[in-house]
Structure 1
Amino acid sequence: MEMKQLEAFVAVVQYNSFSKAADMIYLSQPTISAHINSLENEIGAQLLIRSTKAIYPTQTGKELFQRAKSILALRDEAIFRVNKIDREMRGEISILASTVPAQFLLPEIITAFQKNYPYIVFNVQQADSQQVVEGLLGYQYDFGIVGTSVNYRRLITVPFYRDTLVLITPKTMKVDKEELYRGLAAFLRHKPFVMRGDGSGTRVEMEQLLRKQDVSVQNLNIVAYFHDTQSILSAVSHGMGVSFVSKVAAVAYEKIGQIKVYDLEQQAFVRQLHLVFQKEIMLSPVQKLFVTYLENYFTS
Structure 2
Amino acid sequence: MDLHQLYVFTKVVEHKSFSKAAEDIFLSQSTVSSHIHALEKNLNVQLFDRVGRENILTPHGERLYQWAQKLLLLKDQALLDLKGGQQELRGMLRIAASSVPGQFMIPKMVKLFRDQYPNALFRINQSSSKNTVDKVLNGSVDFGVLGDKYESDKLKYIPLLKEKLVLITSNQVNIAGPVDIHDILQYPFIMRNSDSGTNAILERLLKKNKISKDQLNIIAYTDSSQSLIQFVMQDIGISIISEIAAKEYALQNQLKMYEINGFDEERYFYLVYNLQKTQSILGKLFIEQALDLV
SS at match of 2:283: helix
SS at match of 1:281: coil
Contact 2:113/2:293 (<8 A) preserved: no
> What's 1:121 paired with?
121
Contact 1:161/1:274 (<8 A) preserved: yes
Contact 2:165/2:241 (<8 A) preserved: yes
Aligned AA (2:234) = H
Which has the larger displacement, 88-97 or 17-26? Answer: 17-26
> What's 1:174 paired with?
174
Match of 2:274 among 256, 278, 284: 278
SS at match of 1:290: helix
> What's 2:219 paired with?
223
Which has the larger displacement, 160-169 or 93-102? Answer: 160-169
Query: What is the distance in 1 between the residues matched to 2:23 and 2:212?
Result: 50
Query: What is the distance in 1 between the residues matched to 2:113 and 2:29?
Result: 32
SS at match of 1:176: coil
> What's 2:57 paired with?
58
Corresponding pairs, count? 293
> What's 1:79 paired with?
79
Match of 2:204 among 195, 201, 208: 208
Identity, % of aligned pairs? 34
Contact 1:166/1:269 (<8 A) preserved: no
What does residue range 100-115 of structure 1 map to in structure 2 within 5 Å? 100-115=100-115
Change (3 A) 1:66 1:257: farther
Match of 1:242 among 238, 241, 244: 238
SS at match of 1:100: helix
Deviation at 1:290, TM superposition (A): 0.6
Change (3 A) 1:30 1:236: closer
Deviation at 1:161, TM superposition (A): 1.7
Tell whether 2:248 aligns with 1:252: yes
Change (3 A) 1:116 1:187: same
Per-residue Cα deviation, 1:239-264 (whole angstroms, up to 9, x for no partner):
12211111121133224322101134
- What 5-or-longer segments of structure 2 have no aligned partner? none
> What's 1:5 paired with?
5
Per-residue Cα deviation, 1:201-234 (whole angstroms, up to 9, x for no partner):
2111221234345544233222222222112111
- What 5-or-longer segments of structure 1 have no aligned partner? none
> What's 1:198 paired with?
194
Per-residue Cα deviation, 1:77-120 (whole angstroms, up to 9, x for no partner):
34324544122211110011111111121112111221121110
Per-residue Cα deviation, 1:154-204 (whole angstroms, up to 9, x for no partner):
2222221213211101111111125x2xxx132122222211112112111
Per-residue Cα deviation, 1:14-41 (whole angstroms, up to 9, x for no partner):
4555466557657776554343123324
SS at match of 2:264: helix
SS at match of 1:162: strand
- Length-normalised TM-score, structure 2: 0.87
> What's 2:162 paired with?
162
Query: What is the distance in 2 between the residues matched to 1:11 and 1:278?
Result: 16
Query: What is the distance in 1 between the residues matched to 2:55 and 2:261?
Result: 47
Contact 2:17/2:55 (<8 A) preserved: no
